[in-house]
Amino acid sequence: MKQVTSLALVALLAGVAVNAGAYEEGDWVLRLGATTVAPDEDSDRIVLPTAPATVLPGVSIGNDTQLGIIPVYMLTDNWGMELLAATPFEHDVKVKGAGIKAGSVTHLPPTLSLQWYPRGGQRGWQPYVGAGLNYTLIYDEDVDPQLAGALEGLLGASEADLSLDDSFGLSAQAGVDIPLSGNWAINLAVWYIDIDSTAKIRTDVGTVEFDVDIDPWVYNVGIAYRF
């Protein structure tokens, strides 16, 4: 009997050791990395009130990479809640076709996701998928002198101001933590975020409005540490 108990104890300890790197209920995992927001934008045309109207084919939005700060709390061994946070992203905006710089926008896209870890409670690679909610706060929009010049030439506008509405939408994601040693891992993750906004160009001779779906793919490459 004593031997059986010892064997059970050895098996239990071995099990604990095997699961030492496992994600378990109550764990925190902090992911830090290079997070890139790559817009897959779809912009309405910009109709300027000249006579006849001048139609520009919309805007394109460039990529930006910032420091991602991405904490996760394991609600159970298999379910986690993750917050995607980062230092502010700044994107160049161009007028499509015309080759004119429109300006730049800065945004914060915090995204809260419920995640499923199929290998939760087990040691080794930790793949996950998630779905969540995004709020994108767009601020500090700047008009480039090239757009200001074009608006002055076409409309006689002496002032121009760009603004984009904030967005609330859904997100989907997948990722994996690849174990290194101890509590460290490499993190690779991707999100698709539905970010739909309306842009306004206000000038002293009138306002032009058009819809812009930013809908970015977001990538993170970094490290993860389990507490």
Q: What are the strands of the beta sheet with 196-203, ordered from one edge?
A: 42-43, 206-213, 196-203, 160-164
Sign of CA pseudo-dihedral 29, 16, 122, 113: negative
DSSP single-letter state for residue 198: E
In the bound state with Ni ion, the residue whose beta carbon lies nearer, of 44 and 196, is: 196
Taking the least distance from each CB to Ni ion, the nearer of 78 and 136 is 136
Tell me if residue 116 falls in helix, strand or coil.
strand
Q: Please name every residue paired with 84 in a beta bridge, in sequence order, or none if there are none.
A: 111
Question: In whole angstroms, how far apart are CA 160 and each of 28, 34, 99?
Answer: 47, 34, 18
Q: Residue 44 interacts with Ni ion (CB under 5 A)? A: no
Q: Residue 106 in contact with residue 87, Cβ under 8 Å?
A: no
**Cβ-proximal residue to Ni ion, closest one:** 213
Q: Which of residues 9-28 bind Ni ion (CB under 5 A)?
A: none
CB of 62 to Ni ion, least distance (A): 18
Say how far apart CA 61 and CA 104 lie, in whole Å: 9
Q: Taking the complex as a whole, how short is the minimal distance between the CB of residue 19 and Ni ion, in angstroms?
A: 41
What is each CA distance from 78 to 128, 199, 225, in whole angstroms? 9, 41, 17
Q: Rounded to the nearest whole angstrom, what is the least distance from the CB of residue 193 to Ni ion in the complex?
A: 9
- For 63, the token pair is 């990529």
β-pairing, 126-143 vs 111-116, is antiparallel
> Considering the complex, what minimum distance in angstroms separates the CB of residue 172 from Ni ion?
12
Closest CB to Ni ion among 74 and 199?
Answer: 199
Least CB distance from residue 88 to Ni ion, whole Å? 21
Q: Which is nearer to Ni ion, 25 or 194 (CB)?
A: 194
Measured from the CB atom, the residue of 24 and 209 that comes closer to Ni ion is 209
- Residue with the two structure tokens 């997100």: 171
Contacts with Ni ion by CB under 5 A: the residue count is 4
Residue 56 CB, nearest approach to Ni ion (Å): 21
Site for Ni ion in 205-224 (CB under 5 A): 213, 215
Q: What mask, x for binding Ni ion by CB under 5 A, covers residues 129 to 168?
A: ----------------------------------------
Question: Binding to Ni ion (CB under 5 A): which residues in 181-200?
Answer: 194, 196
Binding site for Ni ion (CB under 5 A): 194, 196, 213, 215
